Amino acid sequence: MTNINLVSEYKCFDGKVGFYSHFSTTCNSEMRFAVYQPPQATQKPIPVLYFLSGLTCREDNFMIKAGAQQWASKYGLMLVAPDTSPRNTGIAGENDQWDIGTGAGFYVDATEEPWRSHYQMYSYIIQELPTVINTKFPTEPNQTSIFGHSMGGHGALICAMKNPQIYKSVSAFAPIVAPMQCSWG
């Protein structure tokens, strides 16, 4: 069973926002994520909505800026926002560019070394993180949806299209849809 560490926690719209870390066996490094638990989570398992952030963001970006907790509280949705990549892996060059490496995991699984040993974001998002969330929080595992912005919109589309049996819905805001056909990415 995966141990998670509570980094910080705050009351928010009658629920709570928590920031967590854990050692990811998929990414072979410490990973961070944020969870908003609405008040309904104290009474029963609830649906989960995963949000994937864009380039250079972290697990706190959505929880700090979006204001979605008000609506999640009203409708009884748990919000989960993972970090956008592994960090501090020791890979040479991982911090040299803003569009690849730290903060830019693109929610895909790297196939080439040295990236392959840590940058397994697709597998982390569809396998390991949901297992952690469903084990540690009061969720309805069959009521899961995903959405994202920019690079996260790209990730949400890929995760949902490859796994329609997992997600009830998918939304993408200004998604990067052809990362190989632009000057960055």
pLDDT band at 1 (very low <50, low <70, confident <90, very high): low
At 118 the three-state DSSP class reads coil
Q: pLDDT digits over 36-91, tens only? A: 999 999 999 999 999 999 999 999 999 999 999 999 999 999 999 999 999 999 99
Instruction: Quote the CA–CA distance of 54 and 106 in Å, as a whole number.
Output: 8
Instruction: Quote the CA–CA distance of 73 and 36 in Å, as a whole number.
Output: 9
Q: Is the pLDDT of residue 185 over 60?
A: no
pLDDT band at 173 (very low <50, low <70, confident <90, very high): very high
CATH 3.40.50.2300 assigned to 4-181: no
Q: pLDDT digits over 57-67, tens only? A: 999 999 999 99
* Beta carbons of 48 and 41 less than 8 angstroms apart: no
Q: Which of 137, 139, 184 minimizes the C-alpha distance to 166?
A: 139
